[in-house]
Structure 1
Amino acid sequence: MKREIEILLKRAEGFVKDALEDLKRDDYDLAMFHVEQACQLIVKAKLLDLTGYFEKTHSLRKLLGDLSSVLKKEEIEKFVNENWNTLRNLEFAYITSRYLPEEFKRDEVEEALRVYKKLWEMLWSS
């Protein structure tokens, strides 16, 4: 199991690097998608670490709800509430990357990267 968690976290790191490169090229839509993928993976890795399982969903807010139920921590609920709009934008980036023409702005990507960093610190920096 430890190996699977390491793989997910390494992939998340790769997606964040991709997002930063996308941002340099002003490719905000792809940057948002990459941040969303990174967020999904670090939450799935934590669920795998704690329970040995994660639901096969692409909803970041659903995954965070699952994690909140497992950890019984108000910190995660508070994080979701405080970052609701950005989390919704990240989920939207996942959907629009495949099905809808939608554009994101630099400030939205920068906020998404801040949310990723906060999420990483909350889940993995202890």
Structure 2
Amino acid sequence: MPDYKFLRKNADSFYRNAKHLFEQGEYNLAAFNLEQAMQLMLKYLLASRLGEFPRTHSLRRLFREVKTLCPELWEFYEGNASVVGNIESAYIASRYYPVDFQEVEVREMLSAYEKFLEVLRGCLRSP
């Protein structure tokens, strides 16, 4: 099975970049980087368990894909569907449309991502 650690490494870099951009007041790009981080971490979980991952950018689809592998992540998604939807919208909107994510929105996204990481780490530890 190929080594998919590069997905996790890149996700960590996107997350660090998101925090830096947030501190600089670059909220649109911070949101975009959070989306990339979440997308890659979900793909990392799928790849590390199944040996492959779907070629999609949809966080909703990726959460559905991991539902049986890690029910706790699905619970996270159900409890945070609105903020995950905002993160997902950043993939396109922050680059191609005149959106203006606000500090409070991106702060909520960062907080949700940190909770997501806690749940995901638990899933990665269990067989």
Q: CA deviation at 1:2?
A: 5.9
Q: Secondary structure at the match of 1:103?
A: coil
| 2:120 pairs with 1:123 | yes
1:44 corresponds in structure 2 to 43
Aligned residues: 123
Structure 1 stretch displaced more, 114-123 or 10-19: 114-123
1:81 corresponds in structure 2 to 78
1:4-43 to 2 correspondences below 5 Å: 4=4, 6-43=5-42
Give the TM-score of the pair, scaled to structure 2: 0.89
Mapped partners of 1:114, 1:61: distance in 2: 18
Mapped partners of 1:77, 1:87: distance in 2: 12
Q: Secondary structure at the match of 2:108?
A: helix
Q: CA deviation at 1:105?
A: 1.0
Q: CA deviation at 1:114?
A: 1.5
Q: CA deviation at 1:83?
A: 0.6
Q: Secondary structure at the match of 1:3?
A: coil
1:38-117 to 2 correspondences below 5 Å: 38-69=37-68, 71=69, 73=71, 75-117=72-114
Shift of the 72–97 alpha-carbon distance from structure 1 to 2, 3 Å rule, reads closer
Q: CA RMSD in A?
A: 1.5
Tell me which amino acid in the other structure corresponds to 1:99: Y
Q: CA deviation at 1:72?
A: 6.0
1:3 corresponds in structure 2 to 3
- Identity %, equivalent residues: 38
Tell me which amino acid in the other structure corresponds to 1:29: N
Q: Secondary structure at the match of 1:101?
A: coil
Tell me which amino acid in the other structure corresponds to 1:65: R
Tell me which amino acid in the other structure corresponds to 1:3: D
Mapped partners of 1:50, 1:105: distance in 2: 36
What are the superposed Cα offsets for residues 7-53 of structure 1, whole Å, 9 maximum, x if unpaired?
A: 11111111111111111110100000001100001100000011111
